[in-house]
Amino acid sequence: MLRVDNLSFSYKTYKKSKAPLKVFANFNLTFAKGFNVILGPNGAGKSTLLKTIFGLLDYEGEIFYGQESITAMCTEDKIKLMSYLPQMDVELSTLTVLEMVILGRLPELGYKVADEDLSIVMDTLRSLNIDYLASRNFSELSGGQKKLVFIAQTLVRNPQVLLLDEPVNSLDLQKQLELCQLLQKIVAEQNVDLIVVLHDINLAARYAQHIVVVDEKGALYSSGEPRAVITASMLKEVYGVIANITYDENGVPILSPVCSVRRI
Ligand SMILES: Nc1ncnc2c1ncn2[C@@H]1O[C@H](COP(=O)(O)OP(=O)(O)OP(=O)(O)O)[C@@H](O)[C@H]1O
């Protein structure tokens, strides 16, 4: 279980005369074991939160995995513990899909690729239904296919904590559902803690065990089970949206947006 204690972080702005942009101030949050989703409007700080957890930004405060301080860990240990899929993807590469995904095993690789590495890579490509792309040049793939290659690269690391920033972007509906089902399976079978940023609230409601809502000021608005968190008042206050909420036969909230509260 991952815990963020007293996190403060500001981006330095590109002009010396401008004040730093504060994203988090004394932010506290405890994720649940299993499938966590971070929701929030554009610019709320969701990507920044994942980057701080992975150790890419210099923050104040402390982040823990169980009793262990991630903040105090060396990079090698952080990379063993966590795998991170950034929001921005590289567009060009002269590598094939197989080579790109093998790169995901880099922390484990010696001077040559072992059979075990290859079999993990091929199993992962198969689980994402992209094994048929293995020998294709990465640069010649569609946007959604590239996304799946990056997801494969993140998964082959076999991490204990998976941090995924908008992994379903540019995937078609079937692949969005398949990816969420695969993530659910990984969480259940490999005891992985997953923290994923999504914009699709219905997808979050269906698959998340725990949802964290960050508001536009980078403050924690609410967190808990989907049914407790996805409410008409949260949608109005955090997203500025009027929406109807119904529930399916399993009690999963289903959101039907009506309109923005802002006048256009
Ligand atoms: N490298 C950077 N330098 C300066 N400011 C940044 C930088 N990256 C992000 N920001 C700012 O920090 C705030 C939080 O950005 P962040 O990308 O974490 O938001 P987000 O919730 O992930 O947004 P989105 O849903 O649009 O991806 C925004 O105001 C953004 O403009």
* pLDDT tens digits along 179-192: 999 999 999 998 89
Close Cβ partners of 57 (under 8 Å, ≥ 6 residues apart): 9, 48, 51
Give CA–CA dist 27/4, Å, rounded.
7
Q: What is the pLDDT of residue 229?
A: 97
Instruction: Catalogue the E-assigned strands of the chain.
Output: 2-11, 21-30, 35-39, 60-65, 68-69, 82-85, 161-165, 193-197, 210-214, 220-224, 241-247, 253-260
Q: What is the pLDDT of residue 152?
A: 92
Q: What are phi and psi of 17, to 5 degrees?
A: -75, -20
161: CA distance to ligand 1 center in Å? 22
Are 2 and 69 in contact, with CB atoms under 8 Å apart?
no
Q: Which of 175, 132, 173 is nearest to 151 (CA)?
A: 175
Q: What is the pLDDT of residue 218?
A: 95
Q: What is the pLDDT of residue 122?
A: 95
Q: Is 192 helix (H, G, I), strand (E, B) or coil?
A: coil
Q: What is the pLDDT of residue 42?
A: 96
Are 172 and 93 in contact, with CB atoms under 8 Å apart?
no
Residue closest by Cα to atom 18 of ligand 1: 45
106: CA distance to ligand 1 center in Å? 29
Q: What is the pLDDT of residue 12?
A: 86
Instruction: With a threshold of 0.90, tell me whether the complex ipTM lies above it.
Output: yes
Domain spans in the chain, listed from the N-terminal domain onward:
2-260
Residue closest by Cα to atom 16 of ligand 1: 45
Q: What is the pLDDT of residue 257?
A: 93
CATH of domain 2-260: 3.40.50.300
Per-residue pLDDT of 60-69, as tens digits, reads: 999 999 999 9
Residue closest by Cα to atom 26 of ligand 1: 42
Instruction: Decide whether any atom of ligand 1 lies within 6 Å of the 198 Cβ.
Output: no
Q: What is the pLDDT of residue 90?
A: 73
Instruction: Decide whether any atom of ligand 1 lies within 6 Å of the 39 Cβ.
Output: no
For the chain, list residues with pLDDT below 50. Answer: none
Are 47 and 22 in contact, with CB atoms under 8 Å apart?
no
**Cα-only R_g, the chain:** 19
Q: Which residues share a beta bridge with 132?
A: none
